[in-house]
Amino acid sequence: MSLVLSVPGFLASEPVRIALAVGGGAALVCAVVGCATVMRRQSFAGHALADVSSAGGSAAYLLAVNPLFGFLGMAAAAAGVMEWADIREARERDLLTGVVLGAGLGLAALLLYFDATVRSVSGAAVTVLFGSMFTIPASIVPLALAVAAVALAASAIIHRPLLVSSLSADLARAQGVRVRAVALTHALALALAVSLSAMTVGAILATALLIGPAAAALRLAKRPVSAAVLAALIGLGATWGGIVLAYESFYWTPGHGWPVSFFIVTLIFCAYLIAGWMAGRPGTRPAAHPSGCEGP
Site for other proteins in 150-189 (CB under 8 A): 156-161, 163-164, 166-168, 170-177
Phi, psi of 295, deg, nearest 5 = 85, 150
C-alpha–C-alpha distance, residues 176 and 185, integer Å: 16
Residue 139 binds other proteins (CB under 8 A): no
Query: CB of residue 263 vs other proteins: minimum separation in angstroms?
Result: 8
Query: Using the rule CB under 8 A, is 289 a contact of other proteins?
Result: yes
Q: Which of residues 21-40 bind other proteins (CB under 8 A)?
A: 35, 38-39
User: Measured from the CB atom, is 66 or 266 closer to other proteins?
Assistant: 266
- Residue span binding other proteins (CB under 8 A) among the ranges 63-71, 72-80, 135-143, 260-268: 260-268
Q: Please name the residues in contact with 161: beta carbons below 8 A apart, sequence gap of 6 or more.
A: 172, 177, 178, 182
Per CB under 8 A, does 254 bind other proteins?
A: no
Burial tier of 277 (Cβ tally within 10 Å: 0-12, 13-18, 19+): exposed
Q: Contact with other proteins (CB under 8 A): which of 8, 255, 283, 286? A: 286
Neighbours of 270 (CB within 10 A): 14
Determine, following the binding rule CB under 8 A, whether residue 104 of this chain makes contact with other proteins: yes
Compute the distance between CA of residue 208 and CA of residue 126 in angstroms, rounded to an integer. Answer: 17
The reply to whether 229 sits near other proteins by the rule CB under 8 A is no
Choose the binding region for other proteins from 23-31, 105-113, 140-148, 186-194 (rule: CB under 8 A).
105-113
HSE value, Cβ hemisphere, 13 Å, CA-based, for 192: 24
Strand, coil or helix: 128 = helix
Stretch near other proteins under the rule CB under 8 A, chosen from 6-14, 60-68, 205-213, 232-240: 205-213
Residues of span 51-70 touching other proteins by CB under 8 A: 51
Q: Does 240 bind other proteins (CB under 8 A)?
A: no
- Cα distance between residue 70 and residue 16, in whole Å: 23
- Check binding of 95 to other proteins (CB under 8 A): yes
Contacts of 69 (CB under 8 A, 6+ apart): 56, 60
Three-class secondary structure of residue 119 per DSSP = coil
Residue 242 CB, nearest approach to other proteins (Å): 10
- Does 252 help bind other proteins (rule: CB under 8 A)? no
Q: Which of 5, 63, 139, 226 binds other proteins (CB under 8 A)?
A: 226
Regarding 102 and contact with other proteins (CB under 8 A), the answer is: yes
Distances (CA, A) of 132 to 127, 145, 294: 6, 18, 54
Give least dist CB 101 to other proteins, A.
Answer: 7
Number of residues near other proteins (by CB under 8 A): 98
For residues 27 and 205, the answer to whether their CB atoms sit within 8 Å is no
Task: Give the nearer residue to other proteins in terms of CB position, either 6 or 266.
Answer: 266
Residue from 59, 183, 215, 238 binding other proteins (CB under 8 A)? 215
* 120 HSE (CA, 13 A, CB side): 0
**Residue 173 CB contacts under 8 Å (≥ 6 apart), including other chains:** 179
Quick one: which of 44, 69, 134, 240 contacts other proteins (CB under 8 A)?
44
